[in-house]
Each structure stands twice: as structure tokens, then as C-alpha cells.
Amino acid sequence: MNTDFEFDSAPDRRDSSSSKWEKYGGRDVIPLWVADMDFRTAPCVIDMLRQRVEHGIFGYTQPPKQIPAVVTAALERDFGWTIDPDWIVWMPSLVVGLSVVSRAFAEPGEEVLTAIPIYPPFLSAPRYGERVTVTVPLQECDGRWLWDFDRLEKAVSPKTRTLLLCSPHNPTGRVWSRDELTQLADFCERHDLVLASDEIHSGLVLDQDKKHIPVASLGDIAARTVTLLSASKTFNLPGLGCAFAIISDEQLRSKIQRTMRGIVHHIGALGFFATLAALRDGKAWQLALVDYLRGNRDLVEAQLSSIPGLKTWHVEATYLAWIDARELSVSDPVAFFEEAGVGLYDGKLFDAPGFLRLNFACPRSRLEEALGRIREAVLSR
Ligand SMILES: Cc1ncc(COP(=O)(O)O)c(C=O)c1O
């Protein structure tokens, strides 16, 4: 393990226009809500950006010549997934990708299916385009979140066009197994659905005995899959706006490109160059980050499981813990913990009222302080 990388201390983000920190500007609230990390990105990314900034010209930018080969090599290295560079479609963010996918394959009034709880834009992206979001609950079984295939079958109608999959899963932290993905792929084949797979958290698998499997690497399902990816979660670059879709089927790809035309803005130079450096040179930093996050995850799980009234689940991937606070019997759990000095994300937005999401991607001492405040608030209420 490379110990040259620093995660125990982090720059002060107050007054840096950070969405995460500005929400509680001037208040003593530790922000553990939106999914960005309080760590500096990999040194190789900062060096690359420095060089590009020194150039001093920021005109319209096309994808750097090397970047298709870098993306291709990274997917082969990380997941054994062989793609053709021509399958890559650049877009400025994953959320844009969710909206584009929702509109490309369903007409207004037609249905896009997903499972809850889920990262909020999965619910809003179809609705913003006047498509209908249909949801089925994941089921919690022996401490793990699973797909409920019976309910999924019942939720399909003649108007269903697309399944939105989050893999690994935000907010439950599940890494879907080969069997689970195969069942989802079969389901999409049987009902003639496009499978849109958001794999933005694929670089953040914490369990050493688990591996992320790109669903499109499983065979025939690739022909109906749009995989959405970005270096931004793993390397903490969401402020630079660079993401991409991998679409092997030419018809699906051109539908996506047509839906984007004239609306979706091109990518900025800094986003491209940061992505290039991260995917090409960032592996050692990524491994050190995942190791550090694993330690934070263990701390969160140990602490939260000993606080009466809170229930949490093992986080296999991501830096997000999902918490059931319903037994606390407080009317507004977010306000309750804000009052105690910790800012959490409201489960309501994930279609799960009474739940909370905690982002543990921060220096451990800050996390310890936040967990202490949570414990104190619960015990003294
Ligand atoms: C599952 C998932 N998809 C997409 C995003 C956002 O991606 P972007 O910032 O590229 O829109 C997030 C951010 O937390 C996420 O968790």
C-alpha cells in the first residue's frame, strides 16, 4: 500500500464555493450529505491540471487524442471488459446521462422502471421529461438489500421501455453479484427493455472479496445496454463535469446522440484532462483511497450498530452508509441531527422516508467527531 497519499488531513473547504459545505455556512454542522469527498484528488490529476492551466488558453475542446485508448485500457485493467473506443459517448455528467437515456428510449407518457431506495435523479430524470417513473422496492433480507424479482415482473406494463440500474448501488452500498446481474439482464431481454446501468461507483468497491462486474460485459445484454461512467466519484472531480456512456449497439448509440444534439453541452478542457490523468495514472492513489475508506466504513458500522434506534447495513461499495432512523421516533430525523451538528441526506429524496444517508469520505477525526455527535444526540434525547 502506498502511504505517500494523505487522507487524514484535508484542506478547509469553507469559502471554496463547495455545495456540500456552503449548505451549512457559518453553522457548526459537519456536512455528511451530498456525495463528494473532503480529500484532495490524486496528485497525478493535480499535476495534469496544473500543466493544462499553465497553457492559459481554454478554447473549445475536443476529446484529447489519447483518451479513448486510456478509457479502453482502464476498463480492461479494472474489470476485464473489452470495449471498442468508438462505443464511447462523452457527456458532461451522469445525471445528464440519466435524463438523456430516459428520453431517448421512452416517449412522453411511457414508463421507466427502477428500484427504491435510489439516488434521487433516478426518480426525477424520467419525470422531468414527462416520462413516468415506476418504482419497485428492493427487499431487505437477512441484513442485505436484494432485488424483488416477483415485484419487478408485476411492475412491467406494455408501456415500460427502460430499466435504470445503479451498480454498485447508491444508497445501499450493494455490489450486485453475477447472478443478480444475469437475472436483471434476462428480465430486460424478456420484456424488451433498454438497460441503463449507472456504474459511477464502480471504482469504490470496499470489500476485498467482491468485484464490480459491468453488466454489459455479461454477453448479449450489451446490445440493449447503455453504461454510464465517470472518474468523478472515485477521483472526486464532480466540479469538473466529465462523464461518458459506453454503448456497443449502433442504433442505441445514435438515439442517444440524437437526443443530446443541440441541448447537451460539450465537455470542458479541464474535465477531459483530469479524467485522462485519473484513469491512466491514478491507480495507486485509488487503492490507497479505497483502503482508507474501508477503515472509515468499519468505524461507521461499528459505531452506528451500537446506537439504539439506528439500523445500518454493511457497505460493500461507495462511501455512503444507509441508515434506518424510524425507530428513533423523531418527526424529522434530518433536522434532529442538524440540530446536533451533523448534516445527513434525507431518505425522503430516495423514496424512503425515515431513512438517512451518511457520507463517510472525510478525514477520520472529523468522522469520529460526527459519529460522537450522533451518539450523544440519540442518547440524550
Ligand atoms: C449513482 C450516481 N449517479 C450519478 C451521480 C452524479 O453524477 P454527476 O455528478 O456526473 O452528474 C451520483 C452522485 O452522487 C451518483 O451517486
- Position 302 scores a pLDDT of 97
Q: How far apart are the first and last CA of the chain?
A: 43
Q: What is the pLDDT of residue 2?
A: 53
pLDDT at 15: 87
Which residue, chain included where needed, has cell 479541464?
270
User: Is the Cβ atom of 204 under 6 angstroms away from ligand 1?
Assistant: no
As a whole number of angstroms, the distance between CA 247 and CA 265 comes to 19
Instruction: Please tell me whether the peptide bond between 168 and the residue prior to it is cis, using omega within 30 degrees of 0.
Output: yes
Using a 6 Å cutoff on CB, does residue 202 contact ligand 1? no
Please tell me the residue having the least CA distance from ligand 1 atom 13: 35
Write down the mean pLDDT value for the chain: 97
The CA 92 to ligand 1 mean position distance, Å, reads 11
Q: Indicate the burial class of 375 (C-beta count within 10 angstroms; 0-12, 13-18, 19 or more).
A: middle
Provide the edge-to-edge strand list for the sheet that holds 320-324.
311-312, 320-324, 355-359, 345-346
pLDDT higher than 90, residue 82 = yes
Q: Where are the alpha helices (DSSP H) in the chain?
A: 19-22, 43-55, 67-79, 94-105, 121-128, 149-155, 178-190, 250-260, 269-281, 283-304, 333-339, 364-379
Whether the pLDDT of residue 3 is over 70: the answer is: no
Go through the domains of the chain in sequence order and give each one's CATH number. Answer: 19-43+283-379 (3.90.1150.10), 57-281 (3.40.640.10)
Report the pLDDT averaged over residues 37-66: 97
pLDDT of residue 1: 54
Predicted local confidence at residue 28, as pLDDT: 97
CA distances (Å), origin 261, targets 166, 322, 335: 25, 37, 42
What's the pLDDT at 4? Answer: 76
pLDDT digits (tens, 9 = 90+) for 163-185: 999 999 999 999 999 999 999 99
Query: How far is residue 38's CA from residue 20's CA, in Å, rounded to a whole number?
Result: 9
Looking at residue 326, the DSSP 8-state letter turns out to be: G
Tell me the CA distances in angstroms from 357 to 20, 269, 318, 322, one per residue in order.
14, 33, 12, 5
- 133-143, pLDDT tens digit by residue? 999 999 999 99
Please work out whether the CB of residue 292 comes within 6 Å of at least one atom of ligand 1.
Answer: no
Is this model's pTM higher than 0.95 or not? yes
Residue 203 CA, distance from chain mean position: 10
Ligand 1, residue 243: give the atom nearest the CA: 10
What is the gyration radius of the CA atoms in the chain, in angstroms?
Answer: 20
- Mean pLDDT (whole number) for 27-34: 97
Residue nearest to atom 4 of ligand 1 (CA): 94
Residue 145's CB: how many other CB atoms inside 10 A?
Answer: 20
The DSSP code sequence of 203-260 is T-B--TT-----GGGGSGGGGGEEEEE-STTTTT-GGG--EEEE--SHHHHHHHHHHH
